[in-house]
Amino acid sequence: MDEIERERSIQLQPIKRIAQLRLEPSEENNGRVIPDDVVDLVKEYEYRNGRLNIRQQKAFGLIDFTSESTNEETRFIIVTNSLSDLLRNINYEDYVGIDNSVFIYVVENNEIKEEIQLEKTLRIL
């Protein structure tokens, strides 16, 4: 009974607002796709190409998915619907050291149309 009485007597302080933010969407397309929208497509594509252990990452991080080949090589995947927008906005310094393991998948009409190694995109620019 003492415990119940103690809990009943606890008084909570009202929550004070310390900040209020208003987010407005940018009109500029950054070329990224939300991983939840293409997770099944990427998994199917990776399985067809002999890669397993596919993991989805949080939206808009450095990468969207990871997968492993049978010889345990890790592949880092970025999914885009606009290669030109992605290449214009990507910060290559973030991928130094892993750029040969990062692949960009270009999605069109709910299909992966193109697969490009990030390292090779440096030659395009």
13 or 37: whose pLDDT is higher?
A: 37
Is residue 81 within 8 Å of residue 31, measured between CB atoms? Answer: yes
Distances in Å between the alpha carbon of 28 and those of 32, 33, 55, 89, 92? 11, 14, 28, 10, 19
Between 30 and 111, residue with greater pLDDT: 111
Predicted structure pTM score: 0.75
Phi, psi of 121 (to 5 degrees): -70, -25
The whole-number pLDDT of residue 80 equals 94
Query: What fold characterizes domain 35-122?
Result: Trna Endonuclease; Chain: A, domain 1 (3.40.1350)
pLDDT at 10: 65
pLDDT at 28 over 90: no
Q: pLDDT band for position 124 (50/70/90)?
A: low
Residue 55: band (very low, low, confident or very high) from pLDDT cuts 50, 70, 90: very high
